Amino acid sequence: MSERVAHVRHTGHTLLELTIAVALGLVVTLGALSAYRTQRQAYVYASDASRIHEAGMNALMLIGEQIQMAGFVAADARSPLAGTSIFGCAAGRPTGADGALACESLSSRSDGVAVRYQGDSVSTWPASNGQVTDCLGQAVGAAGVEIVNRYHAKVSGSTGETELYCEGSGKVGTAQPLVEGVERLRLRYWAAGAAQAVEASALTRDQWASVVAVDLCVQVRGAALSRRLRYVDCDGVQAVGADGRARQVFWRHIVLRNVLPAAS
């Protein structure tokens, strides 16, 4: 019996050993939790950066392709376009009838732009009924009809997020969101023979016909992640996102391919 008691005493753990084991377990657990939080935060930031980049590139592509199309008419067209190929607004969006565009101020301070071209099976995707479509895929009419697509950026009244909007000829007066996260558009216009690009407010109505290229900047903001990051805006000014959102700008120089012969 005494040998058995001695064996139990020999193989048992002291309170000190138990305390050390628990402490080591807590250290390992806390280290694992800290590593998980760090990795999780890094993943969230990387995902946000990826969404910002995707939104910026999509916006550049959508607007850039439209600007390149501005002024297009079919080779056998019997009449020219009813208005200028491109028309822009500084800190505002194009409004009004297609034949008499005007500007309406935006609280977002985003620029707006309208592009005009003739629709056919080359310049647009055909709708299910065979008609040509606008920037939202809305049917406009038979081939040869004139299309005016208008772009701007603003805060969505339903989601509270900034978005790129387009208003097409298929339903004038009703703009629909295309790309979430786009906070601001900034456009500068190159007139034929000009030494530098200017903003929309510097061009008279008659000068829009001489525009041959556009410098497009898209500013995109990310999710609210409670971090203050520096960025350079579309005006080249360094700023800090005080609302906890990361921001990035994307640039593209776009030539109006369908107006170059006339300009030269």
Q: Say what the pLDDT of residue 229 is.
A: 85
Section 167-185 average pLDDT: 95
- Between 59 and 36, residue with greater pLDDT: 59
pLDDT digits (tens, 9 = 90+) for 78-107: 788 989 999 999 999 999 998 899 999 999
Section 148-158 average pLDDT: 95
The three state secondary structure string of the chain is CHHHHHHHHHHCCCHHHHHHHHHHHHHHHHHHHHHHHHHHHHHHHHHHHHHHHHHHHHHHHHHHHHHHHCCCCCCCCCCCCCCCCEEEECCEEEECCCCCCEEEECCCCCCEEEEEEECCCCCCCCCCCCCEECCCCCEEECCCCEEEEEEEEEECCCCCCEEEEEECHHHCCCCEEEEECEEEEEEEEEECCCCCCECHHHCCHHHHHHEEEEEEEEEEEEEECCCCCEEECCCCCEEECCCCEEEEEEEEEEECCCCHHHHC
Q: 13 pLDDT band (50/70/90 cuts)?
A: low
Quick check: 189 pLDDT over 60? yes
Q: Domain segments of the chain: what residues? A: 2-37, 44-263
pTM of the model: 0.83
Section 40-69 average pLDDT: 93
Q: Say what the pLDDT of residue 79 is.
A: 82
